[in-house]
Amino acid sequence: MASSTRRTVITGLGVLSPIGQGREAYWQGLQTGRSGVRPLRAFDVASLPTKIGGEVQDFDAKKFIGKDHRKNLRVMARTIQLAVCAAQLALDDAAIDKAKLDPTRFGVEFGSGLIATDLDELAEAATVSTNCAPGHVDLEKWGDLGLARIQPLWMLKYLPNMLACHVSIIHNAQGPSNTITESEVAGLLALGEARRIIKRDVSDFFLVGGADSRFNPLSMVRHCLFQPLSRRNDAPDKAVRPFDRDRDGTVIGEGAGVLAVEELGHAQQRGARIYAELVGFGSAFDKGRTGAGIARAIRAALKDAGIGPEDIDHVNAHGLASVQSDIWEARGLQEVFGGAAQPMPVWAPKSYYGNLGAAGGLTELCGSVLAQQHGQVPVTLNYENPDPACPLAIVAGSAAAVRKPYFVKVSFTDLGQCAAVVCRKWE
Amino acid sequence: MRRRVVITGMGAVTPLGHSVELLYRNQLEAKSGVGPISLFNASRFPTKIAGQVKDFDLGKFVGNVERWADSGVNSKFSAAAGAQALADAGLLDNSQVDRTRIGVYLGCGEGIQDFHHLVSLIAQSWRPERRLVDVVNFTKNGLYHFHPGREYEQELHTPTAHLADHFDLQGPNYNCLTACAASSQAIGEAAELIRHGDADMMLSGGAHSMIHPLGVTGFNLLTALSTSNEPPSKASRPFDLKRDGFVLGEGAGMLVLEELEHAKKRKAHIHAELTGYGSTADAFRITDSHPDGRGAIACISQAIKDSGLPTSAIGYINAHGTSTQVNDRVESLAIKHVFGDGAYQVPVSSSKSMLGHLIAAAGAVELITCVMAIHHGVLPPTINYENPDPECDLDYIPNQAREKKIDHALSNSFGFGGQNISLIASRFID
């Protein structure tokens, strides 16, 4: 087992979410209990079966990015812009003097997913290469005439690793740079990996994040084809109902959550404000989606933290709000926490903004870090009728007081990749 | 003391054959896997050549091929190479080992977009008078024409899930995608998961194909690809003065990494030990690597330091060696910086001269090549090395394999956007 005693703490939070931009606005959104799910405005969604989602409204990257780097915004898809801006927020929140930071000990890890092309950028090439028959492109015409009608840097705008690349370039982070592309579990996996890198004394400081935006026609078509999405178009704020009996699927959201994390001594030396310590991490694959993998990931994280289930204040759940996924998660949570004398409070942040994809895990985790700071766990929205198939103590109706210093954040994918992180409030 | 990580299984699907043996032997024979692109009509593209995987039949490697019916070749290649690696390690259907202690960490590329439907639907939805795409029309027809299963299988977490599910690997499950560094980074971090105690065995490596219309389009627009289409076998010429870009390849390389004591206890055959790992970022530009090789130098140095070896112990370098002007110059510079005068004594070669560039999968295939070189004592050449470049003046093992007993080999992978990874494989000595 690892012999290192280097500890990792969270010293900065950067959130861009459908319920608020910036740490304080995000907490405000969670506290007021208002949903960020609304009719979509990004483009005309008249043809889509799901016409609602969690948008980061009025997001303007230029407000976050220094003049020197603004010209690069044109080679950044919206996902990348969200990542870069949330990273700036996290760094500002950490109040670090970059001049005193060793660039070779400064790493970047992001969770990200597929980024779809803007259709307009291929339009000229497309029109000269087709006769409009579905599924037919004349590749000779594409090669002769079409190719030259696309911007030279087109591909770079959409590569998943460009989130971390741009962040490392803007902040001169020359340490390890990785991009985890494991759907909704990507953010937690990135965080666990950054902690291991700090532990083994390769880095002292990390920006770790997740970002995702799928509000463009191609992505939305694709997700409507394969994700179980809610059809509650007439009641957007009621649509995402994790663990509620009447849930009918999630909605797509967009956003970014970025943490500044650093080695404890490094943080203390510079007098940093410390939110929490990352004390445990575990990951697993849940074969057959029985909940056993979810339980294994949580147990590994608890063991890593050196604590038991009874030490946990609340579970920050994946809570997707699809019929099957919530049952599956409830089984996993029951396996770990079901034996306790007191039922374990479970909070499902997706009820506020839906499924943020690769941005979800860390944006949600930030919610619990803030809950610890403010001493209360926000409510789960739309939890009105318990589902007997999900026998959990959902925090709903009114906020729950924080009673213990530890929380656990759980994320998993539809296919079975699971991860859990345990954080301890810094005191 | 930290847990030692050894390699107990290997598998490959490449333009030079669908096994580790063929991959290695064909490199020793200086064969090129590059030919005209036949996967689509590239006759009017600036680049018309690539290193394609030939006559691939997934059914030869796994029983349940229906599982991958909607998958892209990235996922299929990873299944075939994964099956080989697990069989080689004695881990297929082996209920003696704890399956929750076997994880997966790939640097697997994305699935291939439905180019024909995407582009024809954009054209059909284009409204020239307004100069924009009618998104209501696009989404309406897209819902009808795109295939749900094939769209889903493009998602980046699907290949690792198939492997975990099919081969019963219930440990940690990761995929990273850091361009050309991805599978090397996956291997490095998979080894760290074992060292940290999160798993005892990891199936790691990568799979990728960008030999499709949008892939070639994207790289052609960046002018990154060679356009020396005739003859195809001569196009990839790393370190040669007349190099003019890289050649796309495709395929998969997979390894089983295992904690040493675990491997010994179950009497697994040990191919080599993974002794060094370095990971840095250039933090310079999204299009170019740092001109002085800043990130590459730090990365190679970090890997050597991690291994605890003196620099002089490295007997062979399998270079990133893409055949682009900038990479080969900067990589040579970085090697000279780290190795000093010793740089001229250490043989360097580029597997990409024969295979082309497997992008996310490149590093894993090249690390496997290093392991084979350690085992057999013959170093693969850099083919098409004809015109010396004064800025690339190292020993590139020109055109002919060379017999040399080595104990430690370094493999470099540098990703587009500035991620640098170096790995060191060593002869296993207990």
Catalytic residue status for B376: no
Q: What is the pLDDT of residue B44?
A: 98
What residues have CB less than 8 Å from A249, skipping those under 6 apart? A227, A228, A229, A230, A231, A321, A322, A323
- Name which of B122, B137, B141 is nearest A123 (Cβ-Cβ): B122
Give a yes or no: residue A2 inside a domain: no
Same domain as A299, residue A364: yes
For residues A425 and A372, is the Cβ–Cβ distance under 8 A? yes
From A120's Cα to the closest Cα of chain B, the distance in A is 6
The domain total for chain B is 2
User: For the segment B216-233, what is each residue's pLDDT rounded down to a tens digit?
Assistant: 999 999 999 999 999 999
Contact B45 A147 (CB under 8 A): yes
**Do A51 and A354 meet the contact criterion of CB atoms below 8 Å apart?**
no
Contacts of A125 in chain B (CB under 8 A): 119
The answer, yes or no, to whether residue B188 has pLDDT greater than 60, is yes
Regarding whether A207 and A315 lie in a shared domain, the answer is no
Mark whether B107 and B37 lie in a shared domain.
yes
Residues B119 and B257 grouped into a single domain: no
The residue count of chain A comes to 427
* Residues B309, B350 share a domain: yes
Q: Is position B161 within any domain?
A: yes
Contact across the interface for B148 and A144, Cβ inside 8 Å: no
Where is the domain boundary, B130, B152, B174?
Answer: B152
Nearest CA in chain A to B221: A152
Token pair of A190 as six digits? 């990135």
d(CA B255, CA B257): 6
Range of A159's domain?
8-118+154-269
Whether B370 is a known active-site residue: answer no
pLDDT confidence of residue A133: 85
The answer to whether the Cα torsion of A401, A343, A356, A426 is positive or negative is positive
Is residue A3 a part of any domain in this protein? no
- Decide if A139 and B110 are in contact by the 8 Å CB cutoff: no
Contacts of B143 in chain A (CB under 8 A): 47-49, 221, 224-225
Residue A83 in this model has a pLDDT that exceeds 80: yes
Q: Nearest by CB to A181, from B177, B193, B198: name it.
A: B177
Same domain, B31 and B170: yes
Query: Which residue has tokens 């080989």?
Result: B84
CB-closest option in B119, B193, B198 to A122? B119
Q: Which chain A residues in 119-148 lie under 8 Å from chain B, judged by CB atoms?
A: 119-120, 122-123, 125-127, 129-130, 132-137, 139-144, 147
Q: Are residues A183 and A79 part of one domain?
A: yes
Half-sphere exposure of B326 (CA within 13 A, CB side): 14
Do the chains contact at A179 and B126, CB–CB below 8 Å?
Answer: no
B81: distance to nearest CA of chain A, Å? 20
Choose the final residue of a domain: A269, A299, A333. Answer: A269
The predicted-structure confidence for B63-73, as pLDDT tens digits, reads as follows 999 999 999 99
Same domain, A249 and A337: no
| Total number of domains in chain A | 3
Last residue of some domain: B126, B152, B178? B152
Judge whether A1 lies within some domain.
Answer: no
Q: Does A181 contact B176 at a Cβ distance shorter than 8 Å?
A: yes
Mean pLDDT of A278-307: 98
Q: How far apart are CA B52 and CA B35, in angstroms?
A: 7
Q: Which of the following is catalytic: B212, B271, B320, B408?
A: B320
Mean pLDDT of A269-285: 98
The verdict on residue B252 lying in a domain is: yes
Does B96 lie in the same domain as B241?
yes
- Closest Cα partner for A360 from A281, A222, A257, A219? A257
- Which pLDDT value is given to residue A1? 42
For residue B405, the enclosing domain spans 9-112+154-426
Pair B280, B183 in one domain: yes
**What's the rounded Cα separation, in Å, for the pair B102 and B254?**
14
Residue with tokens 């889509």: A48
Residues sharing a CB contact under 8 Å with residue A58, sequence separation 6 or more, in sequence order: none
Same domain, A69 and A171: yes
In a domain, B4, yes or no: no
CATH no. for residue B197?
3.40.47.10
Please provide the average confidence, as pLDDT, over all residues in chain A.
Answer: 97
Contacts 24+ apart (CB under 8 A), A402-405: A402/A313, A402/A314, A402/A371, A402/A372, A402/A375, A402/A376, A402/A377, A403/A313, A404/A311, A404/A312, A404/A313, A405/A313, A405/A372
pLDDT value of residue A341: 82
In a domain, B3, yes or no: no
Interface check for A104 against chain B (CB to CB < 8 A): the answer is yes
Residues of chain B neighbouring A161 (CB-CB closer than 8 A): 177-179, 415-417, 419
Alpha carbon distance B356, B175 (integer Å): 23
Q: What is the pLDDT of residues A203-227, one digit of tens each?
A: 999 999 999 999 999 999 999 999 9
Residues A54 and A28 occupy one common structural domain = yes
Based on the fold, state whether residues B122 and B246 are members of the same structural domain. Answer: no
Same domain for A387 and A295? yes
Query: Nearest 5°: CA angle at A363, between A359 and A369?
Result: 155
Shared-domain flag, residues B190 and B67: yes
Pick A217's closest partner by Cβ from B135, B217, B220.
Answer: B135
| Domain limit, last residue, from A248, A269, A290 | A269
A265 and A295 in a single domain? The answer is: no
Pair A145, A159 in one domain = no
Distance separating alpha carbons of residues A278 and A301, to the nearest angstrom: 10
C-alpha span between A250 and B381 (Å, rounded): 54
* Residue B105 and residue B27 in one domain: yes
What secondary structure letter does DSSP report for A312? E
- Residue A134's closest chain B neighbor by CA? B120
- Does residue B183 sit in the same domain as residue B244? yes
Let me know if B147 is a catalytic residue.
no
Q: How confident is the model at residue B74 (pLDDT cuts 50, 70, 90)?
A: very high
Give the end of a domain, one of A102, A131, A149: A149
My answer on whether A124 and A55 are in the same domain is no
A380-398 pLDDT, tens digit per residue, is 999 999 999 999 999 999 9
CATH number for the domain spanning A52: value is 3.40.47.10
Do the domain assignments include residue B1? no
Residues A89 and A127 in one domain: no
The β-bridge relationship of strands A376-377 and A400-401 is: antiparallel
Q: Which of A4, A415, A418, A421 would you mutate first to test chain B, the one with the most B CBs within 10 A?
A: A415
Question: Rounded to a whole number, what is the distance in Å from the CA of B25 to chain A's nearest CA?
Answer: 33
Could you tell me which of B101, B61, B93, B64 has the C-alpha nearest to residue B78? B61
Same domain? For B272 and B129 the reply is no
- Residues A26 and B336: their CA atoms lie apart, in Å, by 51
Tokens 């960490």, residue?
B105
Here the ipTM equals: 0.98
User: Do A189 and A87 share a structural domain?
Assistant: yes
Which residues does chain A have within 8 Å of residue B138's beta carbon, measured at their own beta carbons? 119, 217, 221
Q: Average pLDDT for residues B372-377, to the nearest whole number?
A: 98
In a domain, B2, yes or no: no
Residue that terminates a domain, selected from B104, B125, B152:
B152
The verdict on B129 and B191 lying in the same domain is: no
pLDDT over 80 at B1, yes or no: no
Q: Could you identify the residue written with the tokens 């090549």?
A: B369
Residue in B18, B290, B357, B408 annotated catalytic: B357
